[in-house]
Amino acid sequence: MNKTAIVTGGCGFIGSHLVDLLIEKKFRVIVIDNLISGKLKNIKNNKNITFINKNINEIKLSNLPNDINNCYLFHFAGLGDVVPSINFPKQYMETNVFGTINLLEIARKLEVKKFIYAASSSCYGITNKRNSEKAKINITHPYALSKYMGESVIKYWSTFFKIPYISIRIFNAYGRRSRTTGAYGAVLGVFLKQKIENKPLTIVGSGLQKRDFVHVKDVANAFYLAANSKLKNRIYNLGSDKPISINKLAKKISNKSVSLAWRPGEPRLTHANINKIRKELKWKPKISFDMGIEEILENIDEWSDAPLWNKKNITKVTKEWFEFLS
């Protein structure tokens, strides 16, 4: 492999784990991150990277070192979480769609070896089945739309401008360094802060809904294998293929809980069919859910600065969710 990589969002949750892996593999790494949610300290060997503090919408070719032609570009940067996308849809489009287009133009000028994109399984929408990459696209909120549009423009740029790509639709990534500040979002971070404060866990509906949790280190390895592979212009699902109920997750964290109203537009099941990525990239998850949760609980203080969510403030912040998705 060529040993140079650009990683957008490289100080964030998944991006920082990939940067660690790339440095371990002796890559030269250029990280682009505006540090709004990412942290430079997330990268173990941050002295061994070139760091550029820029938004992806603003990054220019002139901001990059002039000797990185023929490199890999891993794109993780963007806005996440469903709830704020309902409140700020234009911002999500500007960042997740037009920011991606800006990076594609840079990739085209650099003649990158491959553009590897962190897509989202949210494109499958509300489903009660195991989804393959051929499953019907069902966009239910602005976040899902912005991520799927990002994938769509990548496919178009690949066809027209001959940029090799791989798009990886991540299901429910979890692990250390997940974001601890900002909007109401991923269930695990919400639960961990509630446990730290000895508050009841807020379980939506019956808690029987299942999520396909995949450990962040397994995610990072999948992106590395995608770059290392000779394959191009592919879309892959990335999950464990073993969905876990929210009740099971909650019991591993605390025996105190409170129920919230079921939210319209929330899937009863996320379940990745990972046959394609297993076969083509020879990837499989290595870290079990039990091992991953044990590691997190051993380091639970990392979530001490996370926002504390309770029944009252969750109801307030998800008001628009109920209004638009009912």
Q: Which of 143, 184, 224, 236 is catalytic?
A: 143
| Helix pair 187-196, 246-253: axis angle to 10 deg | 30
Contact 56, 100 (CB under 8 A): yes
134: Cα separation from own chain's centroid: 20
Pairing of strands 257-260, 201-204: parallel
SS3 sequence of the chain = CCCEEEEECCCCHHHHHHHHHHHHCCCEEEEECCCCCCCHHHCCCHHHEEEECCCCCCCCHHHCCCCCCCCEEEECCCCCCHHHHHHCHHHHHHHHHHHHHHHHHHHHHHCCCEEEEEEEHHHHCCCCCCECCCCCCCCCCHHHHHHHHHHHHHHHHHHHHCCCEEEEEECEEECCCCCCCCCCCCHHHHHHHHHHCCCCEEEECCCCCEECEEEHHHHHHHHHHHHHCCCCCEEEEECCCCCEEHHHHHHHHCCCEEEECCCCCCCCECCECCHHHHHHHCCCCCCCHHHHHHHHHHCHHHHCCCCCCCHHHHHHHCHHHHHHHC
According to DSSP, the residues that pair with 238 across neighbouring strands are 170
165 is catalytic: no
**Annotated active-site positions, please?**
143
